Amino acid sequence: MSSNAESSTPSKKRSKWDEDDQEDEALIGRRQLNAKRRVKARSQTSQSTDSTPIRVPTEQTATQQHASNRQPYSFYVPPRTCHPTIQPARSVYCYERLNQIEEGSYGVVFRAKDKETGDIVALKKLKLDEEKHGFPITALREINALMSCRHENVVHIREVVVGDTLTQVFVVMDFIEHDLKSLLTVMPSPFLQSEIKTLMLQLLSAIAHCHSNWILHRDLKTSNLLMNNRGTIKVADFGLARRYGDPVGVGGMTQLVVTLWYRAPEILLGAATYSTAVDMWSVGCIFAELLLKEPLFQAKGEIELLSMIFKLLGPPSPSLWPDYNNLPLSKTISLPSPQPPQFRQRFHHMTTAGINLLMSMLTYDPELRITAEEALQHPYFTESPFPKHPDLFGSFPSAAAGEKRRKPFDSPSAPMRAVNANLLTDNDIA
């Protein structure tokens, strides 16, 4: 492998675990033996030295203390049992590497098997080796956001494990068979309206949950939406997520967020603060992509993207977006002459309610853009065809699991026409 190729890998100090070669079983055996010895030695030392074990106040002792009028801890501090016990991270060697799924900008994702339980999981190795100032904030945000947004439609984080060095940190998640982007490219036909409704309801419910927990995702796109073979979507990749509404961020939120095609116009025009509406714009782009089976705004750059948006929505006017002229980059943009929105022409198969929902997501003014909670109540979801039950979704071979699309059967050809009319039976003629 060339040195260039090596430098494009996430970690210069690759652990034995994420190398292509088969695991060195002898090395693992030695490792486990050493670990056991260390634990044994530690427990022996603690047994010999800890003649007076530290007493953790139990509920009973706390009550007894309270009864004797001594307040053991502040009234406002929750009981100790509410805090998870602090444990060291397990080793990545608890997992057997199966295959690499994908390398993205923030990490490499592997499929692996839990050696203890046999569960198939996904391990995302965080890119840490460029860091000179400790553990990167993006990685902390990703882990924190995943942990604080637990939901049926958010990918489930199981644990964080470590490799041989401090730069080898892996997030362990449930393995999900597909991402929507890859799935849309291999599906022979687009999703049905009833299926799109189910997927949108799941996505909106996950986003409503994140927003109610003060988390902005900031990178919603089809490749970050995973889908299992039971018709359930899981929002993934919280690498750009952050807590919003905290005073630290006021006036200084980065504009380097959201993959270009899914980026809201207020970010494109340099808004210094933005909120949940940026995610809702991306949800609108995803909705359109599900309908069209291809991304809505496939622009090469920001200017081209803005002109595509102006074409679909009609250029912004003070009545549509009163704050437009206050945005830092609005003066540098020359607006095209006014023209009506083109939604109806682009989405001619959609019902009026469907177009209305799409337009409320793709609305210029972030203040007027629909919220995830509001969108969940939209009449589009209660008109026919109704959302399909997830169990009724078809399943597809998972590229991430190395499954291949089954070759279609060599179906028998149609029978030759009977040459001799005498051979036809009565049934053939009837």
Positions touching Mg ion (CB under 5 A) are: 104, 224, 237
Count of residues in the chain:
430
Cβ proximity to ligand ATP: between 107 and 354 the closer is 107
Q: Single out the segment in contact with ligand ATP by CB under 6 A; choices: 35-43, 169-177, 263-271, 274-282.
A: 169-177
> Rounded to an integer, what distance in angstroms lies between the CA atom of residue 389 and that of residue 292?
22
Cβ proximity to ligand ATP: between 193 and 224 the closer is 224
> Rounded to an integer, what distance in angstroms lies between the CA atom of residue 228 and that of residue 173?
13
Catalytic-role residue among 18, 179, 219, 279: 219
Give residue number: closest CB to Mg ion: 237
Q: How far is the CB of 139 from Mg ion (least distance, A)?
A: 14
The mark string for 379-408 relative to ligand ATP (x by CB under 6 A, - otherwise) is: ---------------------x--------
Nearest 5°: the CA angle 416, 418, 421 is 170
CB of 192 closer than 8 Å to CB of 385: yes
Cβ proximity to ligand ATP: between 104 and 397 the closer is 104
Neighbours of 289 (CB within 10 A): 21
- The one-letter amino acid at 157: I
Q: Residue 124 touches which of Mg ion, ligand ATP, none (CB < 5 to 8 A by kind)?
A: ligand ATP
Judge whether 219 counts as a catalytic residue.
Answer: yes
Interface pick for ligand ATP out of 14, 91, 109, 220 (rule CB under 6 A)? 109
- Long-range contacts, 189-195 (Cβ 8 Å, 24+): 190/290, 190/291, 190/292, 190/293, 191/290, 192/385, 192/388, 193/354, 193/385, 194/385, 194/386, 194/387, 194/388, 195/231, 195/388, 195/393
> Rounded to an integer, what distance in angstroms lies between the CA atom of residue 220 and that of residue 354?
20
The mark string for 284-323 relative to ligand ATP (x by CB under 6 A, - otherwise) is: ----------------------------------------
Cβ proximity to ligand ATP: between 110 and 281 the closer is 110
Interface pick for ligand ATP out of 146, 155, 235, 358 (rule CB under 6 A)? 155
Q: Residue 122 touches which of Mg ion, ligand ATP, none (CB < 5 to 8 A by kind)?
A: ligand ATP
CB of 221 closer than 8 Å to CB of 278: no
104 binds ligand ATP (CB under 6 A): yes
CB of 113 closer than 8 Å to CB of 96: yes
327: DSSP letter:
S
10 binds ligand ATP (CB under 6 A): no
Q: 116 vs 94, 119, 168, 292, CA distance in Å?
A: 7, 8, 21, 44
107 binds ligand ATP (CB under 6 A): yes
Cβ proximity to ligand ATP: between 101 and 357 the closer is 101
Q: Residue 323 touches which of Mg ion, ligand ATP, none (CB < 5 to 8 A by kind)?
A: none
Give residue number: closest CB to ligand ATP: 104
Cβ proximity to Mg ion: between 104 and 341 the closer is 104
Interface pick for ligand ATP out of 239, 265, 295, 315 (rule CB under 6 A)? 239
Interface pick for ligand ATP out of 15, 193, 198, 224 (rule CB under 6 A)? 224
226: DSSP letter:
E
Exposure string (b/e) for 306-330, b if CB count within 10 Å is 16 or more?
A: beebbebbbbbeeeebebbeebeeb
Q: Residue 278 touches which of Mg ion, ligand ATP, none (CB < 5 to 8 A by kind)?
A: none
Q: 151 vs 197, 204, 236, 313, 414, CA distance in Å?
A: 19, 12, 11, 33, 51
Q: DSSP 3-state assignment of 314?
A: coil
Q: List contacts with ligand ATP (CB under 6 A).
A: 101-102, 104-107, 109, 122, 124, 155, 173-176, 179, 223-224, 226, 236-237, 239, 400
Residues designated catalytic: 219
